[in-house]
A and B are shown apart, each in its own frame.
Chain A
Amino acid sequence: MTRKSPNITNKLWSCSALLGILLLWQAITGAGIVDAFLLPSPLQVGKAFFAEFPALMEHSAITLSEAFIGLGLGILLGFFMAVLMDRFDILYQAFYPLVILTQTVPAVAVAPLLVLWFGYEMTPKVILIVITTFFPITVGLLTGFKSADPDSVSLLRAMGAGQGQIFFYIKLPGAMNQFFSGLRISASYAVVGAVISEWLGGFGGLGVYMTRVKKAFSFDKMFAVIFLISFISLLLMNGVEILQRLCMPWNRESGNE
């Protein structure tokens, strides 16, 4: 209960900062300091957003479905890699450096290749999202598995538990915190990944919409879609937080993180 009030004041500060920036922006463009055609005012962006709302929603649906499919597969891949690398140290030694390597390759650079290989349909987009999202999941889960309390593991062993039981009773639940931290990052990567791959070719989605309005120099629509993308990312990250609270009731009951 005592935690609630500072939380509200925190939000108050961040909201007023945001509002301040918007007002400043409006003032600058309203006073004609910057050309309205280069930098539309927040009000113009808002108008464009509502005028384009049906189209934006249609494209969002495409982007989101790519993001969800990619994220789902990314979670699966990340989970299996983490489990295997935890179980077999040889796999960890062999593949962990490679996993890190995949993250040093910029997504923007791989995306055109994927388009050349797999065409303009959904496949290259989903693959790109899987590549960007599995990594935080794998690393989060692996860290969680490896930090299992050795005394708890010994106790379960003394009770006659096998590797599988130790995994299900100790390692997996113990790694949930790290898993959700990873998932929060992956969720935002998924949306960004989808948009980037749509830039390079496709028939629908927010990325395709973006390239279209860019070619038409419609800056107001550009801003509208940028804001929409960050809003969707925020929404997904919040969704992960809610999911975490549902899946980890022990955190809530004890009142600590």
Chain B
Amino acid sequence: MAVLRAEGITKSFNGQKIIEQISLELKEGELVSLLGVSGGGKTTLFNVIAGLSLPDEGKVFLDDMDITGKPGQVSYMLQKDLLLPYRTIEDNVVLPLLIKGMKKKDARQKVSGYFGRFGLEGAQKQYPSQLSGGMKQRAALLRTYLFSRRVALLDEPFSALDMLTKSAVHDWYLQVMEQIHLSTLFVTHDIDEAILLSDRICLLTGKPGHITKEIRIEEPRPRKKDFSLSEQFLEYKRQILSHLEGR
């Protein structure tokens, strides 16, 4: 059953259509990437799914419940970690629970078990400015996960990281996803990243943006490190590039 479903989303700004008739579906534990050029309407779609803006047409469902235009159901994570500089990592991470009305003490207790799994052991009492970029993104991901344990929207979450850190975070993310059964909708303009992480890739092209192609990555999980160097990987990349350039 689909955890998250978007049906026929159309959204325009100032009379100009940004995205048109976008439908997609996210199954339990699945990672679906939305790949397209910058400014192609990926973020617009995200804001609609997160409930921050109302679509002109279409609906969003979470577990068959209509959540169109209702914030507070699905959380997201951006390239900017958006950790509040004046709160410790622990207090940043519990923020979604506090917003839901949980007491600070209970919330802290509840999250205490997750720091190890997210590679943040010992960082609980530190402030964001004391952590590396990779650790900050992991903390932001933990915050996202604590908000909605089933679906995470990630908008180019790793694009500000340097290449080596990024690769380490990819490995780690695949592992952790496996353990916590998170379903992820992933926006990126990095083709390699999309192939490496996704079960399916939706290509968003044109103006207004449509989903014009869907590619299934058949490589089983857990994926090996050298998948990105294999012939199959290159074949997927060729396929995607030719589609994007063919437009």
Contacts and interface: CB of A to CB of B under 8 A. Distances in A.
B127 A253 contact: yes
A256 B82 contact: no
Q: How large is the interface on A (under 10, 10 to 19, 20 to 34, 35 or more residues)?
A: 20 to 34
Interface string B80-110: 1010111100000001101110000000000
B221 to A, nearest CB: 28
Given A154-B52, A253-B130, A256-B129, A161 B86 contact: no
A160 B71 contact: yes
B75 interface: yes
B80 A158 contact: no
A94 to B, nearest CB: 30
Interface residues of B, number: 27
A149 interface: yes
B96 A151 contact: no
B160 to A, nearest CB: 13
Contact of B99 (A165, A174, A256): A165
A170 B126 CA distance: 19
Nearest to B51: A158
Contacts of A152: 82, 84
A158 B52 contact: yes
A160 B72 contact: yes
Most central of B75, B99, B127 by chain A CB within 10 Å:
B99
Describe B's contact surface by its main secondary structure.
loop
Contacts of B147: 159
A154 B46 CA distance: 12
A73 interface: no
Given A154-B52, A254-B130, A173 B86 contact: yes
Q: Which of A154, A158, A170, A176 has its CB near the most chain B CB atoms (within 10 A)?
A: A158
A238 to B, nearest CB: 23
A169 B95 contact: yes
B75 A158 contact: yes
B62 interface: no
A141 to B, nearest CB: 15
Interface in B38-87: 47, 50-52, 71-76, 78, 80, 82, 84-87
A160 B102 CA distance: 13
A95 interface: no
A151 B82 contact: yes
B71 A157 contact: yes
Nearest to A152: B82
Contact of B127 (A169, A174, A176, A250): A250
A202 to B, nearest CB: 42
Given A160-B100, A165-B99, A254-B129, A155 B82 contact: yes
Given A158-B50, A176-B86, 12 more contacts: A156-B95, A158-B71, A158-B76, A159-B75, A160-B71, A161-B72, A169-B99, A173-B87, A174-B86, A253-B127, A254-B129, A254-B130
